Structure 1
C-alpha cells in the first residue's frame, strides 16, 4: 500500500508511525477526518519500520476504525496503543504475537484474541466490548488490565473468556462490569487477581467461572456484586482470598463455590451478603477464615457447606446471620470456631451441624441465637466456652468429646442441656460432663452429674426395675450419698433396739441360749455378713417377726447399695 492511496486521516497515522508519535483525533469532527481503515493499520504494522534513531509504534486516540483488523497469526514488532477508538468490526488477533497492546477506553463489538502472545502488557482498561471478548489461551508476559471495562450485553452468554490464560504479572479488573459469564477456568496468574468492585450480571447462570485458577499471590473480590454463581472451585491461592462486603445472589442455587480451594494466608469474607448456597467443602485454608457479620440466606436448605474443611487457624463466625443449615461435618479447625453473637436459623431442622469435627476451641455466647438443633456427634473439641443459656432447645451430643468446659458453672446449670438431647438418654454425654468436673477437682459436680445420669437411666427401665432404682436413690442416692445409708442404719438400729428391748423374743433353746441383747440382736438382723449369735438363738413372734423380716430385707438393700457406692468410688479413683 502506498501513501497516495490513503485518506488525510490515514496519512497522519502513516507519517507518525515510524517515529512513535501519537495521532489524536479528539479535536476532529466525527466522520472521514477521524476514520482509519483496518487494512491500512494492518499494512502499517506488518510492513513499515522505524525511522532512524526512533522507536516505531502505532499510537492513536479517538479514531474510528472501519473494516476488520485482521492480525491472525501475525507477528507485530511494534507497540500498539489505540486509546478511545471505535471499532466497526471485531478485531481478529487469534494467535498473533505482539509486543504491547493497549485498547484503553475503546469501543468494540467484540474481541477475538484467543491464544494471543503479548510480550508486555495487554490493556483494555475502560473498554466497552458489547459482544464476546475472547482471550482464551492467551500468553501475556506482563500484566492484564481490565479496570473499569465493560463486557457483553444483556442476553450474551459469555462476556469475557480468559480460560487457560497465562499472565506473567497481575490481572487487574477493578470496577469491571460484565453482562454474561467471565471465564477464568484453569488460568495462571503469577501475581494477584484484583476484581474489587466488579459488577457481574449472569442471573440463573455463572457470573464468574474461575475453576482451577492458579495465582501467585492474592485474589481480591472485595465489594464484588454478582448475579449468578461465583465459582472458584479447586483454585490455588497462596495469599489471601478477599470477599469483604461482596454481594452475591443466586436464589435456590449456589452463590459461591470455593470448594476444594487451597488458600495460604487466609480467607476474609467479612460482611459478605449471599442469597444462595456457599460451598466450602474440602477447602484448605492455612490462615484464618473470617465470616464476621456475613449474611447468608438459603431458607430450608444448606446455606454454608464446609464439609471436610481444614483451617490452620480460627474460623470466625462472629455476628454471622445464617438462614438455613450451616454444615461443618468432618471439619478440622486448629484454632477457634468462634460463634459469638452469631444467629443460626433453621426452625425444626438442624441449624448447625459440626459432627465428626476436630476443633481447638468452640465459643458460644448467650447473645448467640440458634433456632434449630446443634449436632456435635462424634466431634472432638479441646475447650468448649459456652454459657448454659447459649444452647438451643435441641442438641445431638452422642460421642461428643471435650477436655475443658468454660466458664465454670454448677452442674445443675449444665444438666438441662443433656436432657434436651434429640436421642433421649445418652450415657456418653453424662460421662463427658462428669469427666470435665473431675478434671477441675469438683467432686460435688461429678456426683451431681452421675446421680442425674442414674435418674435418666431409671426412666428408660421397666416398672419393676424402676422400683429398685427409686429404692436405691432413697436409701443411698445410688451410692453417691453414703451418709444417707449411715443415717438409715442408725435409724433402723435405734428402732429395732427399742422395739426388741421392750419385747424380748422367746429363745429357741432356753437351756442353751445366751443372754438377750436388743442392740446386737438388731445388728444381727441388719448386717447379713456379721453374726453375733443373737439372731439364731431367738425367734420373734407375731408383729415382731414381721419387723425382723423388714430389718433383714433393709439390711440386704443397704449392704448392696453401699457396696455399689464403694465400687463406684474406687473406680473413680
Structure 2
C-alpha cells in the first residue's frame, strides 16, 4: 500500500457530497486502494453510487443516518461498519469482506438486497456481536452463503421481504447466542443447509411462511438451548440429516410441517403447546414416543395429543392408538400408588380402552376355564325338578356378564372350590365391564 494507492477519506467524502451536474449522477469507483482516515458520511445524503472494492480501510466507515443510492465494498477490509438507520436505495454488498469489528445496521432500510456471502466477521476467541440488523427492513434478500462469523449475528425484529440464505455458514459463539432471529419476519424462507452454529439459535416469535431449512446442519449448545422456536409460526421446518447437540425449545410453536427424526435431537425437548400439521419422515409410534419422554417438563399431555393427531391425519389409526396408550401409561406414573393400581388393571385388561381385543381374549380364556370346570362337575340344582338343563357354557357366561341373564346362575348352586371359582368369575366380569366402559368413554370423549 504505497502512496500511489492511498486515498484520504476526506477527499472521498467531498467527492461523494458533490451534487449532480445537469441531472447526471456519476458513481464513485475505486479498486485496490488504502483509505486513510475516517470516511464519515453521518446524516449525509449521497446521490452517487459508492463502489470501493478490494480496499483497505484504516478506520470504521460511518454511514449513520445517511441516505445513499448503492454501496459495494466487496473484497475489502474494514475494521467495522457503523451504519445504523442508514437508507440504501439499492443493494448493500459486503461480499468477501473481512471485518473483525462490529457491523451496525440496526434500523437500516434497504430497498435492495444485503449481500455478505463468504464474508469473514469477527475475531476468533472474542465473543461479541458481529452483525447487528435489529429492526432493519430489507426489501429483498439477505444473502450470506458460506459466511463465517466469530460472534453473534442478530436479526431481532428485522423484516426481510425475500429470503435469508445462510447456506454453508459457520457461526461460532460458544456459551452465547450464535444467531438471534427473534421476532424476525421473512417473506419466504430461511435456508441454513450445511450450516454450523456453535451457540444458541433462536427463532422465538419469528414468522416464516415458507421453509426453515437446517438440512445437514449442525447446531450445538449443550449447556444452553441449541434451538429455540417458541411461539414461532413457520410453514415447514426441515431437520433432515441434521444434528442438534443440546436442548430444543419449541413451546407454543406452530409448524405446518415438521421433518425431524428423534436421533437428530441430542438433548432435552420442550414441546408443550407445539402444533404441527404433518410429521415426517413416517416412523413407528414407538420411536416418536421415546422423544416425548425426554420432555424437560415431564408429562405433557398436549405433546401426546398432537402426535396422535398427526398420525390420524396421516391415516395411521393404529399408531395414534399406540400414542394414546403411551400417554395413559405416562400419566399413570405421575399418580399416587393407589391410583396406579387401577391404572395397571385397566392397562392389563383392555389397554385403557385402546386394546379392546384384550378384553375379548380375557373373556375367552375365562369362559374356557369355567366351561371346562363346571362341565366336569355340574353344580347342584337349587330346586330338584324345577331347573332347566345345565349348560356349562351359559352358566359361565351368567357369572361373567353382569347384565345378561341366561337363567343358569339362579337355578344352580356351587360349593367348595367351584364356589370360589364362581366368585372369581363374577368379580372378574365386573372388573372387565368397568374397565371396558371406562376405556370406551375415554375413546368417545377423545373423538
TM-score, normalization: structure 2? 0.77
Could you say if the C-alpha distance between residues 39 and 354 of structure 1 is closer, same or farther in structure 2, counting changes exceeding 3 Å? same
> Which residue pairs with 1:360 in the alignment?
309
Further displaced range: 353-362 or 228-237: 353-362
Q: Does 1:189 align with 2:189?
A: no
SS at match of 2:201: strand
Q: Does 1:383 align with 2:317?
A: yes
Could you say if the C-alpha distance between residues 59 and 397 of structure 1 is closer, same or farther in structure 2, counting changes exceeding 3 Å? same
> Which residue pairs with 1:295 in the alignment?
264
Q: Give CA-to-partner distance per residue, 1:29-49, whole Å, 9 cap, x none.
A: x31111111111110011253
Could you say if the C-alpha distance between residues 528 and 278 of structure 1 is closer, same or farther in structure 2, counting changes exceeding 3 Å? closer
> Which residue pairs with 1:169 in the alignment?
140
> How many residue pairs are counted as aligned between the two chains?
405
From 186, 197, 200, the equivalent of 1:226 is 197
> Which residue pairs with 1:483 in the alignment?
371
- Distance in 2, matches of 1:567 and 1:345, equals 34
- Distance in 2, matches of 1:522 and 1:48, equals 119
Q: Does 1:69 align with 2:39?
A: yes
> Is the Cα–Cα contact under 8 Å of residues 84 and 106 in structure 2 kept in the other structure?
yes
- Distance in 2, matches of 1:49 and 1:228, equals 48
> Is the Cα–Cα contact under 8 Å of residues 132 and 159 in structure 1 kept in the other structure?
yes
- Distance in 2, matches of 1:311 and 1:114, equals 38
SS at match of 1:312: strand
CA RMSD of aligned residues (A): 4.3
Structure 2: give runs of 5+ residues left out of the alignment. Answer: 332-338, 389-394, 396-407, 441-447
Could you say if the C-alpha distance between residues 424 and 348 of structure 1 is closer, same or farther in structure 2, counting changes exceeding 3 Å? farther
> Which residue pairs with 1:307 in the alignment?
272
- Distance in 2, matches of 1:103 and 1:161, equals 18
- Distance in 2, matches of 1:563 and 1:105, equals 85
Could you say if the C-alpha distance between residues 153 and 399 of structure 1 is closer, same or farther in structure 2, counting changes exceeding 3 Å? closer
- Distance in 1, matches of 2:203 and 2:149, equals 17
> Is the Cα–Cα contact under 8 Å of residues 63 and 85 in structure 1 kept in the other structure?
yes
Q: Does 1:102 align with 2:80?
A: no
Could you say if the C-alpha distance between residues 428 and 184 of structure 1 is closer, same or farther in structure 2, counting changes exceeding 3 Å? same
The structure richer in strand per residue is 1
Could you say if the C-alpha distance between residues 483 and 135 of structure 1 is closer, same or farther in structure 2, counting changes exceeding 3 Å? same
Give matches, 1:169-568, under 5 Å. Answer: 169-264=140-235, 266-286=236-256, 288-292=257-261, 294-298=263-267, 302=268, 304-316=269-281, 318=283, 338=284, 344=290, 355-356=301-302, 357-358=304-305, 359-360=308-309, 383-385=317-319, 397-398=328-329, 423-426=340-343, 427-430=345-348, 432-433=350-351, 435-436=353-354, 438=356, 445-449=358-362, 477=366, 483-484=371-372, 486-487=374-375, 490=378, 492-493=379-380, 520=385, 551=415, 558=422
TM-score, normalization: structure 1? 0.61
Q: Does 1:131 align with 2:101?
A: yes
- CA radius of gyration, larger in: 1
Could you say if the C-alpha distance between residues 290 and 554 of structure 1 is closer, same or farther in structure 2, counting changes exceeding 3 Å? closer
Q: State the 4+ residue runs in structure 1 displaced beyond 6 angstroms.
A: 340-343, 345-352, 566-573
What is the CA distance between 1:450 and its match in structure 2?
5.7
Q: Give CA-to-partner distance per residue, 1:369-389, whole Å, 9 cap, x none.
A: xxxxxxxxxxxx97233999x
> Is the Cα–Cα contact under 8 Å of residues 104 and 133 in structure 2 kept in the other structure?
yes
> Is the Cα–Cα contact under 8 Å of residues 82 and 102 in structure 1 kept in the other structure?
yes
What is the CA distance between 1:312 and its match in structure 2?
1.1
Further displaced range: 273-282 or 558-567: 558-567
